Amino acid sequence: MNNAYTRKKIENYSYGLNDVIGKGYSSHVYRGRNDENSQNVAIKVIDLKMLKNEINRILLDSEIEVLKELKSQAHILTLHDVFTTKNNTYIISELCDSDLSKKVKHGLSEEEASACMRQIIAGYLNFARKDIIHRDLKPANILMSDGQIKIADFGFAIKVCDAAKSSKYNVGSPLYMAP
């Protein structure tokens, strides 16, 4: 059977190897499905072999911890499940339609931009109230689902109390970082 048509299964979720919707340094994100209720989900598969040093593992653990803490917060990507095997960590979350960078390319009216900003600020306040710093907030990490903003990709997020410990690491997307 052709590898591109293979479906992978992790617990009660599955995804097709040809259903990639995003890629990162150590991960791929797939359009998947909860096989128990047929709900569409996003499945982020992190290849643990690609996490070459301690800071990469710390950031992965931090991302999962932050997503769990922010579960059920408005305008934050909803985490459904996390699984770890010998080779991979799987982060199962809600599936979104698009991201803000694509919406901006097509143009936004003043009303649309204002509605987006209100939701972004509401999401930001939800993690700021929990003393979480995102550290990579950019249009590509602001997802959209049925017109609702969902802040995503907490891979560089940390708690305020841990910020001093990690200040020697420069993280984020250079074009969006403060000077």
Catalytic annotation on 162?
Answer: no
Give me the catalytic one of 99, 136, 153, 162: 136
Non-local (6+) Cβ contacts of 113 within 8 A are none
User: Which position has the token pair 């710093």?
Assistant: 133
Give the tokens for residue 64.
């999962």
CB 46 within 8 A of CB 89: yes
Non-local (6+) Cβ contacts of 146 within 8 A are 97
Distance, in Å, from the CA atom of 89 to the CA atom of 44, rounded to the nearest integer, reads 8
CB 42 within 8 A of CB 10: no
Which are the catalytic amino acids? 136
